[in-house]
């Protein structure tokens, strides 16, 4: 999943640039001398960020003020291009800081992040609500048909003008003051929510006293649990860390039902049981503030405000997509549950299938139907081989890319790896950071970031990172992946390709700067290569013997791809529907803190997805995507983009599959264009037609329902 940190903008201070003497010991204050302006992580200290933000902020405010005060008639160059060039120091500081805040945080970074949040929001408002600056933009916008701009430049004018209008540039002074206060509080609440989720996820370590209570887990994972317990002050015991999702990987293997229940309840209870990490009051306040802000800006709801900028466009379009799929998905999930209950009854289990039983009995059903389980697959999915002989191999065959690992560049954490990526003609393209292991300093989930954005105007080439949360094995043990983790590795690299191939002029359109419900399309398309026979046969080899995955096991993997889709679709739809339920509310309809869980229950029931064995992929109280991660009213995006993805997979199948010609077409017509044109226009140019929904329904096992 793509989960980018929100954009950090500079602090709003009244200090002048001259008052901030550059500290030569602060590496953030000058462009990095390393290749591609790669961040000098070995020289950056926590204490460098605040003064760097202050100096960068002062510079940007001075630049913006100079643009606004320019006595010359507004032109595209002296206004739009000048604005695009502004804030380069801030951009550098922001990207480094926000990436570390997500991938390798600590108390000092968290304190800085929390202190900055309202000031960052205030600075955004200081630019977007600058009356004289907007007057120049507005004058140019009115004259846009007479300016003879090339398509990307015209789009920059239109999108920037729209950014300012949507930020409140046309509001009265009194309403702008109200808006500024809301934005500052929202920023603070979002940061607090995110930090609460990370802190409680780390604090809710599940400690198990006896080795036999972990029966069913592979020996390497039990050894890892012992190592985690020792590191956390529980020598002689075993400890399982939580991931951010409702479901936890160990639930599919743990034989002890009581331990499964403990693990599942620990996951679902996060943020809702009182104490310092309880997020219910934050959710209630955030939802109300977002609704009030939308109303102030002239929209019926926060969802309506957000969706205006997406390819979906309207609340009605999103509601229809989710409502059309929910009945068939839940029906599939109920059929899957019945099959599992039959296994429980046949084994004289004496209980009714519960949420903590689903993964365990799904594996039993999978073994019965396809004669394999996840533990049969994992020996063939060693991390380094999947990365090099799978992910990189597919990119080489499709785009001609080659990869060379570099050990001469500093990293912020020892397990992070850096690769230089080259085009087919040998020319350098980008640096790629692979940060793949889970750790307490990293937030949950998986995401891609740009450490340096591509722009021909600025003269920068991209530096891209992928961040996953794969459990790290005990020392000396190989990292063996689940099939879901393999798919995630391919998925996130699809985002990376979108950033790597960016070939735009203006920073505003670089890489993944596209609508939220389109940004997942390239990443989901890239998942196809995980099971493409030529690719799978290349990387799916036994980690000890090097033997390829047996053909019969490979055939079973391919046959099982629709297995458990009722569960997968229902848990995703439930989370998406929760997101919409919260963000389609009017201010006076938002419940108080004590009503948050009841609202969630009622929303799921009303949407027809309240099926106890399948909880939402994220419950509200740890739903970081929408309450702190930039996906508010946008979690539907993965499914919306999957319509395009499934249709594109069919196109590849009909046009020769994994070929350079197909890769070059995708790169040239879509991936390289970033946000420089309308997303669906780019899609149609590549696909040659509008997308069809049938391939998605077939993939999800919903065709004919």
Tokens of 551: 């053909």
Residue 122 phi, psi (nearest 5): -65, -35
* Bridge partners, 402 (sequence order): 422
Q: How many of the other CB atoms lie within 10 Å of CB of 402?
A: 16
CA distance 552 to 533: 13
Q: How many residues does the chain have?
A: 705
Catalytic residue from among 84, 492, 600, 642? 492
Q: Are 167 and 206 in contact (CB under 8 A)?
A: no
Q: How many of the other CB atoms lie within 10 Å of CB of 142?
A: 10
Torsion-angle region of 453 (φ positive above 0: left; ψ -120 to 50: alpha; else: beta): beta
Hey, CA dihedral for 86, 88, 93, 95, is it positive or negative? positive
Q: How many of the other CB atoms lie within 10 Å of CB of 605?
A: 11
CA distance 518 to 309: 11
CA distance 402 to 377: 28
Question: Residue 492 catalytic?
Answer: yes
Q: Are 269 and 275 in contact (CB under 8 A)?
A: no
CA distance 102 to 599: 30
CA distance 575 to 580: 9
* Bridge partners, 466 (sequence order): 434, 448
Secondary structure letter of residue 455 according to DSSP: B
> What interhelical angle do 679-687 and 660-669 show, nearest 10?
160
CA distance 359 to 252: 4
Of 561, 534, 621, 686, nearest in space to 287 by CA: 621
> What interhelical angle do 315-346 and 565-583 show, nearest 10?
140
Token pair 């310092």 is found at: 276
CA distance 117 to 183: 10
Return the active site residues: 492
């Amino acid at each position: 999943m793509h989960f980018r940190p929100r954009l950090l903008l500079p602090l709003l201070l009244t200090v002048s640039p001259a008052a901030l003497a550059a500290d030569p010991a602060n590496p953030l204050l000058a462009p990095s001398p390393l290749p591609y302006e790669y961040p000098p992580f070995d020289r950056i200290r926590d204490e460098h960020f605040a003064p760097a933000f202050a100096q960068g902020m002062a510079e940007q405010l001075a630049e913006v003020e100079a643009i606004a005060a320019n006595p010359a008639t507004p032109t595209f160059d002296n206004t739009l291009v000048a604005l695009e060039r502004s804030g380069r120091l801030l951009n550098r500081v922001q990207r480094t800081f926000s990436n570390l805040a997500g991938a390798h945080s600590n108390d000092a970074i968290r304190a800085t992040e929390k202190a900055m949040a309202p000031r960052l929001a205030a600075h955004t408002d200081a630019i977007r609500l600058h009356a004289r600056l907007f007057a120049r933009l507005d004058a140019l916008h009115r004259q846009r048909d007479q300016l003879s701009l090339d398509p990307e430049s015209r789009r920059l004018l239109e999108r920037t003008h729209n950014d300012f209008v949507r930020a409140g540039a046309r509001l009265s002074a009194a309403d702008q003051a109200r808006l500024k206060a809301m934005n500052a509080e929202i920023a603070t609440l979002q940061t607090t929510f995110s930090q609460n989720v990370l802190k409680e996820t780390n604090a809710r370590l599940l400690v198990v006293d006896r080795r036999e209570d972990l029966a069913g887990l592979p020996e390497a994972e039990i050894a890892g649990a012992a190592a985690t317990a020792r590191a956390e002050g529980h020598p002689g015991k075993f400890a399982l860390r939580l991931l951010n999702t409702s479901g936890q990987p160990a639930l599919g293997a743990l034989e002890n039902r009581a331990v499964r229940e403990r693990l599942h309840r620990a996951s679902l209870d996060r943020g809702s049981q009182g104490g310092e990490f309880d997020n219910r009051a934050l959710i209630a306040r955030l939802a109300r503030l977002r609704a009030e802000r939308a109303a102030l800006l002239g929209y019926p709801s926060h969802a309506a405000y957000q969706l205006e900028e997406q390819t979906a466009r309207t609340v009605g379009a999103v509601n229809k997509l989710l409502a059309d799929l929910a009945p068939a998905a839940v029906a599939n999930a109920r059929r899957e549950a019945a099959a599992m209950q039959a296994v429980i009854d046949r084994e004289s289990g004496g209980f009714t299938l519960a949420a903590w039983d689903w993964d365990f009995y799904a594996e039993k059903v999978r073994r019965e139907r396809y004669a394999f389980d996840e533990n049969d697959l994992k020996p063939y999915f060693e991390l380094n081989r999947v990365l090099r002989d799978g992910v990189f191999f597919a990119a080489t065959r499709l785009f001609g890319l080659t990869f060379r690992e570099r050990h001469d560049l500093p990293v912020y954490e020892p397990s992070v790896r850096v690769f230089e990526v080259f085009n087919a003609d040998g020319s350098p393209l980008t640096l790629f950071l692979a940060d793949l292991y889970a750790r307490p300093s990293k937030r949950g989930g998986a995401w891609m970031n740009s450490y340096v954005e591509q722009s021909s105007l600025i003269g920068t080439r991209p530096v891209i990172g992928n961040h996953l949360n794969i459990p790290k094995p005990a020392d000396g043990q190989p990292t063996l992946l689940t099939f879901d983790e393999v798919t995630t590795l391919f998925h996130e690299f699809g985002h990376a390709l979108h950033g790597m191939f960016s070939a735009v002029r203006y920073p505003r359109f670089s890489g993944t700067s596209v609508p939220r419900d389109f940004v997942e399309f390239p990443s989901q398309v890239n998942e196809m290569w995980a099971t493409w026979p030529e690719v799978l046969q290349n990387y799916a080899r036994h980690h000890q013997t090097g033997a390829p995955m047996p053909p019969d096991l490979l055939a079973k993997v391919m046959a099982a791809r629709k297995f458990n889709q009722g569960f997968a679709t229902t848990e995703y739809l439930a989370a998406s529907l929760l997101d919409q339920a919260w963000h389609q509310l009017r201010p006076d309809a938002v419940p108080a803190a004590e009503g948050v869980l009841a609202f969630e229950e009622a929303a799921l029931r009303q949407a027809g997805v309240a099926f106890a064995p399948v909880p939402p992929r994220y419950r509200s109280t740890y739903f970081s995507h929408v309450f702190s991660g930039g996906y508010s009213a946008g979690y539907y995006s993965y499914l919306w983009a999957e319509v395009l993805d499934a249709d594109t997979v069919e196109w590849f199948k009909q046009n020769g599959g994994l070929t350079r010609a197909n890769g070059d077409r995708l790169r040239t017509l879509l991936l390289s264009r970033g946000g420089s044109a309308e997303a669906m226009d780019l899609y149609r140019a590549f696909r040659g037609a509008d997308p069809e929904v049938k391939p998605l329904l077939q993939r999800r096992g919903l065709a004919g329902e």
